[in-house]
Amino acid sequence: MSVKKTMLVIDDQYGIRLFLSKVFAEEGFEVHLARHGRQGIELFNETAPDIVLLDIKIPGMDGIEILKELMMLNSHAKVIMMTSYEDHYDECMELGAADYLQKPFDLEDLKERIYASLSVAELQ
C-alpha cells in the first residue's frame, strides 16, 4: 500500500485552486489550498507537503517572498513556481525552486514536472 502524496497549492485565483485540487485529488494526492502567503506558510508547516505549486503574483506577500520563507523552513522543499511572467526564472531557481512553469500551462506538462520533482518515473 503506497502512502498518499500531499500537495499544497498557493494561488490567489480561486479557479486555479479549484481546478488543481480536482485534478490532483483524482491523481491520488491529498491537496491543501491557500489563497495567500501567510495561509500557505501555515499549511506548509501543518501538512509538510511533498510538493508545492506556488503562484508568483499574489497580492500582499508575493511568491518570491513565500518561496524564500518556505526554503528557510525546509531547504529540501519541492516547490514548482507558476506564473504568467518570465522575468523571475533565474531568481526562483537560485532560491531553490524545483521547477518554473509559465501560465497558461499544459496539464500533462505540469503532471510530468510534478512527478519528475517527486522522482516518480511514470505518470500513474
> What is the reported pLDDT for 122?
38
**Domain ranges within the chain, ordered by starting residue:** 36-114
pLDDT one-digit tens code per residue, 80-124: 999 887 688 999 999 999 999 998 889 999 999 999 999 743 333
Cell of 59: 497580492
pLDDT one-digit tens code per residue, 7-25: 999 999 999 999 999 999 9
Determine the CATH number of domain 36-114: 3.40.50.2300
C-alpha dist (Å) from residue 101 to 3, 21, 43, 46: 27, 17, 22, 26
DSSP code at position 87: T
In this prediction the pTM is: 0.92
pLDDT one-digit tens code per residue, 42-90: 999 999 999 999 999 998 899 999 999 999 999 999 999 998 876 889 9
Cell of 101: 512553469
